[in-house]
Structure 1
Amino acid sequence: MEGTREIIFDRLVYSCQFDKHRGDEEFIPEHLLGFQLSGETHAVYPGGTTVVPENTVVLIRKNQLIRTTKYPSKSGEYKFVSITLDREVLNKYALENKIQIENGYPGNKRLFFEPDDFLLSYFVSLAPYINKKKEATPKLADLKIREAIELLLQSNPDFKQILFDFSSPYKIDLQDFMEQNYMFNVSIETFAKLTGRSLSGFKRDFSKTFNTTPKQWLQNRRLEEAYYLIQYLERKPADFYLDLGFENLSHFYFSFKKKYGFTTSDLKKNENL
Structure 2
Amino acid sequence: MPIEKIPETFINNKKERPDLFVYDFKMTNDVVKSKVNLGMNMFSFLQVGKKQVHFAGTSVAVNKDQSLLLKKGNWLWTELLDTEAIYYCKLLFFSQTKLKEFLEKHTENNQIAKDGLPYFIIRNDAYITSYLNSLSTISEAPTVFMENLLAVKFEELMLYLLQKYGRKFEIYLRSLIVNEKSQFKKNVESQIHSNLKLGEIAFLCHMSLSSFKRHFIKEYKVSPGKWLHDKRLQKAKEILEKGDFKPSDIYLDFGYNNLSNFSIAFKNKFGISPKEV
Q: Normalising by structure 1, what TM-score?
A: 0.52
- Post-superposition shift, 1:105? 6.4
Partners of 1:25 and 1:33 lie apart in 2 by: 18
- Note the alpha carbon deviations across 1:244-273, whole angstroms, 9 max, x for none: xxxxxxxxxxxxxxxxxxxxxxxxxxxxxx
- The equivalent position to 1:20 in structure 2, one of 30, 38, 41, is 30
- The equivalent position to 1:126 in structure 2, one of 115, 135, 142, is 135
Task: Specify the code of the residue in structure 1 equivalent to 2:49.
Answer: G
Partners of 1:101 and 1:159 lie apart in 2 by: 14
Q: 1:16 to 1:100 in 2, by over 3 A?
A: same
Partners of 1:143 and 1:123 lie apart in 2 by: 14
Residue 124 of structure 1: SS of its match in structure 2?
helix
Other-structure match for 1:51: 61
Task: Specify the code of the residue in structure 2 equivalent to 1:33.
Answer: F
Q: 1:89 to 1:199 in 2, by over 3 A?
A: closer
Contact 2:51 2:79 in 1 (8 A): yes
| Cα RMSD (Å) | 3.5
Partners of 1:100 and 1:30 lie apart in 2 by: 24
Contact 1:14 1:82 in 2 (8 A): yes
Q: 1:170 to 1:96 in 2, by over 3 A?
A: closer
- The equivalent position to 2:50 in structure 1, one of 25, 32, 40, is 40
- Post-superposition shift, 1:97? 3.0
Task: Specify the code of the residue in structure 2 equivalent to 1:147.
Answer: E
Other-structure match for 2:77: 68
Task: Specify the code of the residue in structure 2 equivalent to 1:119.
Answer: I
Residue 11 of structure 1: SS of its match in structure 2?
strand
- Note the alpha carbon deviations across 1:39-59, whole angstroms, 9 max, x for none: 111222112332221131111
Contact 2:23 2:92 in 1 (8 A): yes
Partners of 1:39 and 1:11 lie apart in 2 by: 22
Residue 137 of structure 1: SS of its match in structure 2?
helix
Contact 2:35 2:76 in 1 (8 A): yes
Contact 2:138 2:149 in 1 (8 A): no
Q: 1:20 to 1:118 in 2, by over 3 A?
A: same
- Note the alpha carbon deviations across 1:132-154, whole angstroms, 9 max, x for none: 4x445221121111112112212
Partners of 1:98 and 1:112 lie apart in 2 by: 21
- The equivalent position to 2:179 in structure 1, one of 158, 168, 175, is 168
Structure 2: which 5+ residue stretches go unaligned?
1-8, 13-17, 191-277
Residue 44 of structure 2: SS of its match in structure 1?
strand
Partners of 1:116 and 1:101 lie apart in 2 by: 30
Contact 2:32 2:78 in 1 (8 A): yes
Structure 1: which 5+ residue stretches go unaligned?
172-192, 202-273
- Post-superposition shift, 1:78? 0.5
Q: 1:199 to 1:126 in 2, by over 3 A?
A: closer
Partners of 1:169 and 1:36 lie apart in 2 by: 28
- Post-superposition shift, 1:199? 11
Contact 1:56 1:113 in 2 (8 A): yes
Highest Rg: 1 or 2?
A: 2
Contact 1:119 1:152 in 2 (8 A): no
- Post-superposition shift, 1:112? 1.7
- The equivalent position to 1:114 in structure 2, one of 94, 114, 123, is 123
- Post-superposition shift, 1:32? 1.6
Residue 152 of structure 2: SS of its match in structure 1?
helix
Q: 1:89 to 1:106 in 2, by over 3 A?
A: closer
Contact 1:101 1:161 in 2 (8 A): no
- Post-superposition shift, 1:108? 4.8
Q: 1:79 to 1:125 in 2, by over 3 A?
A: same
Identity of aligned residues (%): 14
Partners of 1:96 and 1:110 lie apart in 2 by: 23
Question: Residues 182-221 of structure 1 correspond to what in structure 2 (within 5 A)?
Answer: none
* Corresponding pairs, count: 172
